[in-house]
């Protein structure tokens, strides 16, 4: 006998259909009544105590005073890229084309906008501006590096006319700031938290929620003043300074036990922060994780791998891929994650399996590097984004991959060093 609860809660669509297929009638199934809880959840029910904890945002006694979402351009191909000069060139071309369309609209009755994707990327907001006769200028100071994906930086043209949802970072960021980023509400991915000292893209983590360390939005001058965005009442509740509270939150959010215990809650709502025993240890680990994840480009390369290369190898990347090995039982070849073929000249072997345990936004940190640092050409616009253009150092991507292996291993050790999750309140 198989219970309906088992059918609903375990396995994917194929497994569930197979259970029903193997039964000659529904009378063979061991039906069990399922009652929704106070949150109206039928399955994957949330923890009853979870709502008692302090929310990250949204209430008087939240952990953070203000929050936002990541930057959403809706035209990444045009306004972001690994090459600063190409981003500038693409943006200048698009602005020039846009201004031509504005002129055509004003000088030709009944003119229809050019919708060729290789000419311009329209959004409803941009069409509205064009129809109002609003022209644009290119502002070179608007181009800077931001955090596009985990451990992946790109150049961004950050202008409200070409970025669909820019957020209020020009008012709130200031300088020397940090952003604690979590997966947004309703994600189908397991919970993740990430820290960066760069402005975040909305898909840095899926539909990400952003909590800044400092918030300059209420400053009366253009000079940056360090306004704490950590709620003092929550810091007092913990008995910690604002800096230690920020680190405590990051340490806790990266706790595997916390993520597992509240997995159902974290998929349906933003994180809530309880007070736990041994909070000083969470502060300690949180600070180490913050330093590791923010300063990942300065982490030493991992030396425990074997590098197989040609003499005077090229470090240019087109697309990294895993090696393959023959399965002893089936005789078929399968993916071998201990080996990464960097390019036709270089292969990296003996990558520890443990390094893949650090997963952020549904993918290991190593696989984010492999996925993002490849040459891509957008079919609609014809624009090519080449990661080899990001740095003047020809070994930047190669060393980055080795650094992220080290970052991953250290992260796994740090989160595993956290004490048992003992909730005080």
Q: Each residue of 99-117: pLDDT tens digit? A: 999 999 999 988 999 999 9
Identify any residues that bridge with 216 across adjacent strands, giving them in sequence order.
Answer: none
| Listed residue (281, 301, 297) closest to 415, CA to CA | 281
Nearest to 231 by CA among 67, 69, 70, 68: 67
**What pLDDT digit, counting tens, does each position of 48-80 carry?**
678 899 999 988 789 999 999 999 999 999 999
Q: 10 Å Cβ neighbour count for 317? A: 21
Strands 306-309 and 346-349: antiparallel
Q: pTM for this structure? A: 0.88
In whole angstroms, give the CA distance from residue 209 to residue 193: 10
Closest among 74, 418, 33, 10 to 251, alpha carbons compared: 418
- Measured between alpha carbons, how far is 370 from 366 in angstroms, rounded to an integer? 7
| Beta strand 376-377 pairing with 384-385 | antiparallel
What is the spatial distance between Cα 269 and Cα 186, in angstroms, rounded to a whole number?
Answer: 7
Q: What integer is the mean pLDDT of 139-150?
A: 96
For residues 291 and 289, give the distance between their C-alpha atoms in angstroms, rounded to a whole number: 5
Phi, psi of 15 (to 5 degrees): -65, -40
Res 4: pLDDT: 47
CB of 180 closer than 8 Å to CB of 290: no
Torsion of CA 133, 139, 145, 147, to 10 degrees: -20
What token pair was written down for 210? 């952003």
201 pLDDT tier (thresholds 50, 70, 90) = very high
Domain limits, the chain? 4-34, 68-298, 306-416
Those residues with Cβ within 8 angstroms of residue 238's Cβ, 6 or more apart along the chain or in another chain: 244, 245, 248, 275, 279
Which among 127, 130, 55 is positioned nearest to 100, based on CA atoms? Answer: 130
Eight-class DSSP state of 342: -
According to the model, what pLDDT value does residue 349 have?
98
Residue 291 C-beta-side C-alpha neighbours within 13 Å:
9
Residue whose tokens read 């994180």? 271
126 vs 41 pLDDT, higher one: 126
């Amino acid at each position: 006998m198989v219970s309906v609860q088992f059918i609903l809660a375990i396995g994917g669509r194929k497994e569930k259909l197979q259970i029903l297929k193997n039964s000659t009638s529904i009378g063979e199934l061991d039906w069990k009544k399922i009652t929704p809880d106070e949150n109206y959840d039928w399955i994957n029910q949330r923890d009853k105590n979870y709502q008692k904890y302090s929310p990250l945002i949204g209430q008087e006694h939240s952990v953070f005073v203000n929050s936002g979402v990541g930057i959403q351009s809706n035209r990444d191909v045009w306004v972001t890229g690994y090459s600063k000069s190409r981003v500038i060139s693409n943006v200048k071309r698009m602005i020039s084309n846009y201004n031509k369309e504005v002129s055509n609209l004003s000088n030709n009755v009944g003119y229809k906008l050019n919708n060729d994707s290789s000419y311009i990327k329209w959004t409803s907001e941009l069409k509205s501006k064009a129809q109002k006769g609003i022209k644009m200028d290119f502002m070179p100071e608007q181009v800077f590096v931001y955090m596009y994906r985990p451990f992946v930086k790109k150049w961004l043209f950050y202008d409200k006319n070409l970025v669909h949802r820019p957020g209020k970072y020009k008012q709130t960021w200031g300088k020397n700031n940090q952003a604690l980023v979590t997966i947004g509400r309703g994600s189908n991915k397991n919970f993740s938290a990430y820290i960066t000292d760069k402005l975040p893209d909305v898909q840095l983590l899926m539909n990400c929620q952003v909590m800044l360390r400092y918030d300059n939005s209420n400053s009366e001058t253009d000079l940056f003043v360090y306004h704490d965005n950590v709620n003092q009442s929550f810091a007092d509740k913990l008995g910690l300074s604002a800096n230690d509270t920020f680190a405590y939150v990051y340490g806790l959010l990266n706790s595997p036990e916390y993520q597992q215990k509240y997995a159902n809650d974290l998929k349906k709502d933003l994180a809530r922060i309880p007070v736990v025993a041994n909070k000083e240890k969470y502060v300690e680990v949180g600070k180490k994780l913050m330093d590791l994840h923010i300063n990942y480009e300065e982490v030493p390369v991992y030396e425990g791998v074997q590098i197989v290369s040609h003499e005077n190898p090229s470090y240019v990347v087109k697309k990294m891929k895993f090696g393959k090995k023959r399965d002893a039982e089936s005789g078929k070849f399968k993916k071998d994650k201990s080996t990464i073929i960097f390019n036709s000249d270089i292969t990296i072997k003996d990558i520890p399996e443990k390094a893949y345990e650090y997963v952020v936004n549904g993918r290991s940190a190593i696989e984010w590097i492999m996925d993002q640092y490849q040459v891509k050409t957008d079919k609609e616009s014809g624009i090519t984004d080449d990661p080899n253009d990001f740095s003047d150092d020809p070994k930047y991507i190669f060393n980055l991959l080795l650094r992220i292996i080290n970052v991953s291993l250290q992260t796994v050790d740090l989160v595993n060093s956290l004490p048992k999750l003992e909730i005080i309140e």
